[in-house]
Chain A
Amino acid sequence: MSDGNNKYEKVVKIIRESLPAFPHPELIEDAVIEKIRTKDQFSAGINGLIDTAFGWIYSGWVRRSFIGAALILFAVFVYQQADLLRSVRSLEREVVTITHEQPLLNVRDLERRLTIFKISSKIGPERKIEINESQLKEFMDSYKNLELKYENLNRMIQEDTLLKKYFEKKFEEIEKNKSKI
């Protein structure tokens, strides 16, 4: 056994055998009991306050009313969800899908989109149209061409008196035929 080891054993023996004296434990005991009582009183006060404020929830009729209200609220929620789902499905049927080949950027494109929107609004809610950008362009060109031809024809009729009279006569005949039908 080394010298340090020997000294260590001696020192540990001295400390181990010298039990520290606990002076006046009764003072601490009283302090502990006092603190416990104060804390218990405080928590009892809090519990009393909670009972006064929320004690009514223990009444049977209040509980039953709450259950009823909760069930009603739940039913309303389910009904709203179902209604929402129905609306979404209805909207899906009315949708007009436009697939873009390239983004619409200028006024002319906007005009095209507006036209297609106007057309689509006249179609029943049960129908669905799918149209792409090139088809839309073709449709608009055709429409412009037709419009131009109509204007030229109209101008020609207005300039030529005989032709104008002829067309007026023809229109009258058509109207008459319509009335007969």
Chain B
Amino acid sequence: MIEKELIDECRNGNLQNFRKIFERTSPMIFSVAFRMLSNEEIARDIVQETMITVWQKINRIKTPESFKIWIYRIAVNKCYDYLRKRKHDSEVRMNEDGWIFLSNHIKDEVTSDLDNQEIGLIINSLTDKLSIKQKTVFVLSELEEMTNEEIQNVTGMSPTTIKANLYHARRKMEGLLEKYMKDE
């Protein structure tokens, strides 16, 4: 939660207080960006761009309560734009190494010692066939553990669209897990 005083100070051009906002909010921006893009460098760029946008548009914030959702919306929109461009360039490919790695992890049930590269590999393999909307809803709902109302505020999707996208995303991912991890 970001205090109203902190936001007001930033509105008046206080960069020291903006540093405090950065320290509190940048990990969550990095988390959502990394989980959506599966790339550390790009996620760092998204954090940078998001924070600059936050500084430029901080006057638009009406209540401190809406700050978190607002900052998520900016970050998700930037990820969304990046994914659209990347899809257009057809750079995303299915990664076989990811499935092997994932099979081993499920078998061992190891959950705490994954580094960014490994997390990226798993998410990339799992969400490769999802549409951008499905991927966004999956990350926000299942990984960031947001409620449907919060997702609605962040993405602007209707509750029905959110549920439908999540349902189809889950079906696709279950299909992939069945297909590639039969021996587990």
Q: A13-B111, A14-B111, A28-B44 are in contact. Are A19 and B31 (CB under 8 A)?
A: yes
Closest to A24 in B: B44
* Residue in B18, B30, B142, B184 whose CB lies within 8 Å of A33: B18
How close is B140's CB to chain A, nearest CB, in angstroms? 12
A172 contacts chain B at the CB level, 8 A cutoff: no
- When C-beta atoms are compared, the residue in chain B nearest to A32 turns out to be B51
B44 to A, closest residue via Cβ = A28
Q: For B35, give the chain A residue with the smallest CB separation.
A: A20
Give chain A interface residues in 127-174, CB to chain B under 8 Å.
none
Number of residue pairs spanning A and B whose beta carbons lie under 8 angstroms apart: 103
Contact A31 B48 (CB under 8 A): yes
Please determine whether B116 and A14 come into contact, CB atoms closer than 8 angstroms: no
- In whole Å, how far is A132's beta carbon from the nearest beta carbon of chain B? 72
Report, as a range, how many residues of chain B touch the other chain.
35 or more
Residues 1-30 of chain B, each 1 if its beta carbon lies under 8 Å from chain A, else 0: 000000000000101001100110011001
Say yes or no: B44 contacts A4, CB within 8 Å.
Answer: no
Docked CA distance A33–B177 (Å): 44
Q: Does A35 contact B (CB under 8 A)?
A: yes
CB atoms of B174 and A32 under 8 A apart: no
Q: Are A16 and B31 in contact (CB under 8 A)?
A: no
**A12 within 8 Å of B (CB atoms):** yes
Contact B181 A7 (CB under 8 A): yes
Inter-chain contacts of A39 with B (CB < 8 A) = 52, 56
A18 within 8 A of B: yes
Cα A89 to Cα B158 in complex, Å, equals 64
- Whether A33 contacts B106 by the Cβ 8 Å rule is no
Q: Once the chains bind, are B102 and A11 in contact (CB under 8 Å)?
A: yes
Q: Which of A16, A23, A28, A35 contacts B145 (CB 8 A)?
A: A16
B174 lies within 8 A of A8 (CB): yes
B48 touches A14 (CB 8 A): no
Q: Is the CB of B178 within 8 A of A18?
A: no
Asked if B34 CB lies within 8 Å of chain A CBs, one says yes
Inter-subunit contact B177/A20 (CB<8 Å): no
Rounded to whole angstroms, the CA-CA distance of A153 and B123 in the bound complex is 120
Some 7 contacts from A to B, beta carbons below 8 A apart, are: A7-B178, A14-B122, A18-B111, A22-B30, A28-B47, A32-B22, A33-B15
5 cross-chain pairs, A with B, having the tightest CB-CB distances, nearest first:
A4-B174, A18-B114, A7-B177, A4-B178, A20-B34
